[in-house]
Copies of this chain bind each other. A is one copy, B any other.
Amino acid sequence: MTTQPILIDGEWRQSTGTTAFLAVNPANKQPLADEFPFSPWGEVEQALKAADAAFTAVRDWPGERFAAFLEAYADAIESRTDAIVDLANQETGLPVEPRLKNVELPRTTNQLRQAATAARDGSWVNATIDTATGIRSQLAAIGPVAVFGPNNFPLAFNSIAGGDFAAAVAAGNPVIAKGHSSHPGTTKLLAEAAHEAAQATNMPSGFVQLIYRTSHEDGAKLVSHPLLGASGYTGSRQAGLVLKTACDRVGKPIYLELSSVNPVFILPGALTERLNDLAAEFTTSCLMGAGQFCTNPGIVVLKAGDQTDNFVSAVANGFAEATPGTLLSGGVEQNFRAGIVALQRAGAEVITGNEPADGDRFCYANTLLKVTGDQFLSDPHGLQEEAFGNASLFVIAADDDQLTRIAEQFEGNLTGCFYTDTQGSDDALYDRLAPIIRQRVGRLLNDKMPTGVAVSPAMNHGGPFPATGHPGFTAVGIPASITRFAMLQSYDNIRPHRLPPALQDKNPTVMWRRIDGEWTKADV
């Protein structure tokens, strides 16, 4: 068996590492054919040096150059669609259709093309010109970016093709991608497309690089290295916090998406009005993709009463009837089961599920748990631990005051949802609860489950810690996500011909600029 090469400084090279790993098909628990290397520190360092050289080469380039690469890359991915989605299916168990081929791959190429448009246009740099003082500022590339992708989106959040990659490149930064070890073959196919596009558009050799795996220590060294500009990470809270600590010590930006239980409040009037629809909507959202979404509705808060009992029963039936989805890996299954056990230890009662399912694949029964409001308030931290998978915890509050106290106990989350009736009977309670949840989540929703994350300029796929590392930034949505991989650069009394194009009197594209406080596409 040959170990697959890594992509360093424009070349596919054999790793010098002495250990390797295999991906496993979660649908049949069988190892896949290809072996992938653990990279020793020396290779990471080579990648850093090549990325630094690439950054020196591109830092004066117009956005058009990065746009051309991103668009060529999107095309290259599409020309490999069948190979990519077939292998992604083998590595993740996610269905080819509609998920991988009709949803996630188009989302991925769409993100790359939106990033290209933003790079070409240039408005994202927030060019600010103060003619009275002669001071001008813009956001500009921060330097090489390390991207750590998660297990649950092999394409749209892939370290070498997903949202962080697109945003980092649109800002003008080389990327060192650290592939997720559950789908290395998919990552390699994407990297081949990226490499081809980089060559076709004359990007420097170290602009796009890929390693598959390092030691935890070397990961921490990478993200805190002086040659690195910033990092993007999506994954487990535990591993993310190790990287965060390394970065914090040296003041290096890292944008993390760590975990989220995404509280959903279903208020009494909404249940009275449309109980069955809500049960079906919730069940679909929670079990989709075996619940393996960052925005999976992991906690539902309800007020005690007959309708709530009926709702719990309806969802429990739905959970029991639905075939449980395939989990991404044996590790996910193991952590999921451990997470459910932890919730039980914290006081949660199992309503349905919590048992092994189909043993031929990584899989566990759809699991519904519940606690009273009193129980939740007695261990709000333990009962907010994420069990990543096809499970949810119902919290049944005694009354409105207890709903309020429960809301106040939520930690930072990506999303928070409210379902209310259409006649206004829930409005007073909404007005009491929504402001509390608003401060604790990145995205607030009405009458809609949180699992869909549109690539919209107004999206916030972010939120207060511990959902992410900083409440001011989003991982999804262009141009906002691009600004993470940039630094603020001010120019004071700089001779006009030395100003970067975005800050010269003549508008170099048709970008929006803020001149003397007013947004305009005009020249100075």
Contact = CB atoms under 8 A, between A and B. Distances in A.
Interface of A: 56, 59-60, 128-130, 132-133, 135-137, 139, 142-143, 244-245, 248, 250-253, 412, 415, 430, 434-435, 438-439, 442-448, 454, 456-460, 462, 464-466, 468-474, 477, 480, 483-484, 486-495, 498, 512, 514, 517-519
Given A60-B435, A512-B519, A251 B465 contact: yes
A489 B60 CA distance: 33
Contacts of A128: 457-458, 480
Given A253-B472, A434-B498, A457-B514, 6 more contacts: A133-B456, A444-B494, A445-B492, A445-B494, A448-B492, A474-B490
A505 to B, nearest CB: 14
A458 B253 contact: no
A489 B59 contact: no
A417 B181 CA distance: 46
B442 A488 contact: yes
A77 B158 CA distance: 55
A237 to B, nearest CB: 11
A245 B483 CA distance: 25
A446 B494 CA distance: 5
Nearest to A460: B490
A445 B493 contact: yes
Most buried by B among A435, A469, A492: A492
A443 B491 contact: yes
A488 B472 contact: yes
Contacts of A454: 130, 133, 135, 492
B492 A471 contact: no
A438 B489 contact: yes
A459 B483 CA distance: 18
B489 A137 contact: no
Contacts of A252: 465
B493 A435 contact: no
A486 B498 CA distance: 34
Nearest to A136: B458
Contacts of A129: 458
A456 B130 contact: yes
A158 B272 CA distance: 55
Contact of A248 (B135, B244, B519): B244
B472 A135 contact: no
Contact of A460 (B59, B472, B489, B493): B489
A518 B457 CA distance: 11
B472 A483 contact: yes
B490 A442 contact: yes
A471 B142 contact: yes
Contacts of A489: 438, 442-444, 460
Nearest to A468: B251
Contacts of A495: 446-447
B472 A487 contact: yes
Contacts of A498: 430, 434, 446
B459 A137 contact: yes
A428 to B, nearest CB: 13
Most buried by B among A143, A459, A487: A487
Contacts of A442: 487-490
18 contacts: A130-B454, A135-B454, A137-B457, A143-B439, A248-B248, A443-B489, A443-B490, A443-B492, A444-B490, A445-B494, A446-B493, A448-B493, A458-B491, A460-B488, A460-B489, A472-B488, A480-B488, A512-B519
